[in-house]
Amino acid sequence: MKKTILLNKFNSERIFTLKRLSIVLGIPPEVLLDFSETAVEHYHPYIQTKGAKKRKISNPSEALKAIQKKISKKILSLVPLPAEILGGRKGMSIKENAKIHLRQPEVVTIDLRDCFPSISFKTVFDLFRNDFGYSKEVSSILTKLTTYRRSLPQGGVTSGDLVNILLIPLCGKIRSIIRVGNRLSLWVDDITFSGKNVHQYCQEVVNIIQMFGYRTRSKKVKVMTNNHPQTVTGTMVNSKVSVPKKKIEIYLSDFRNKAVSDLSTSGRVIHTSFINPVQARRLKKRIAVR
């Protein structure tokens, strides 16, 4: 992956010793050392199945999770992010991400392939060492505490923060390509830009993504015009923010065929209400008459 140079203007404290890291995080040095050396034992990997999709999730133990929360709060969350990077930020949601691209002539979405596992131990170490300016010892400890089997774990508390920080230079480059006046957002591994004739930037953006060491899903580069359904992070953005009609019909079909539990149905109604309350009221009525 291309070396990142992004935090040279970030006025953060340079941490050079384990003792100082311990003070910053409020965690005893022996605990940090112990967990950094045994971190692999503190993960519980499993395969998450969602429809036809399968994704490997590596959940940290509660103890390691507590340490990662401190790293996130005391170090990673202090990094200023561009307005275009929204994933995992306080007050942001898939709805807010979708609203950015509401009523646009064209919407382009690009998925980064295997974004988390593609970020290596070395990439994270280099971030702490070269960009935060920490010592080798501190950088090594932090990297061991935030990676799993030499890459970024999907499920780690700090993984989202690290992805956001590492995507800063890519975000800036894409912004320069698609020009002022067009809209851009990054939601973890989902990149969306919209505006007039933005399809012309697709290949250049894909090339830049690959130059930065990431891969794209060829079938997941979508160009959507406003005379067809436009979806951003699973949310319709043609004329108003809403749940796609096809998804609503799936909800109703699953309910009618008792394919999901009452709890799951309730969760789907709550999600629909969050995205579009009017749509949720209609969904409730249709469920009630079944």
Q: Per residue in 211-270, pLDDT tens? A: 999 999 777 799 999 999 999 999 999 999 999 999 999 999 998 888 888 889 999 999
Confidence of residue 11 (pLDDT cuts 50, 70, 90): low
pLDDT at 53: 77
The fold for domain 11-232 equals Alpha-Beta Plaits (3.30.70)
Is the model's pLDDT at 6 over the cut of 70? Answer: no
Distance of alpha carbon 124 from alpha carbon 108, whole angstroms = 29
Mean pLDDT score across all residues of the chain: 93
| Cα 279 from Cα 290, distance rounded (Å) | 17
Q: Is the predicted pLDDT of residue 1 greater than 60, yes or no?
A: no
pLDDT value of residue 10: 57
Question: What is residue 54's predicted lDDT score, i.e. its pLDDT?
Answer: 83
The Cα–Cα gap between 60 and 242 comes to 34
The pTM for the full model equals 0.91
The structure tokens listed for 267 are: 């969760």
Which pLDDT score is estimated for 12? 80
Predicted confidence (pLDDT) at residue 199 exceeds the cutoff of 80: yes
What does the DSSP 8-state code read for residue 16?
-
* Rounded distance between C-alpha atoms, residue 115 and residue 55, angstroms: 12
DSSP H or E segment with residue 241: none
Phi, psi of 157 (to 5 degrees): -60, -40
Residue 268 tokens, joined: 């789907």
pLDDT in tens, 23-65: 999 999 999 999 999 999 999 999 998 766 788 999 999 999 9
pLDDT for residue 198 is more than 60: yes
What pLDDT does residue 51 have?
A: 67
Q: Encoding tokens for residue 91? A: 């007050």
Does residue 142 surpass a pLDDT of 80?
yes
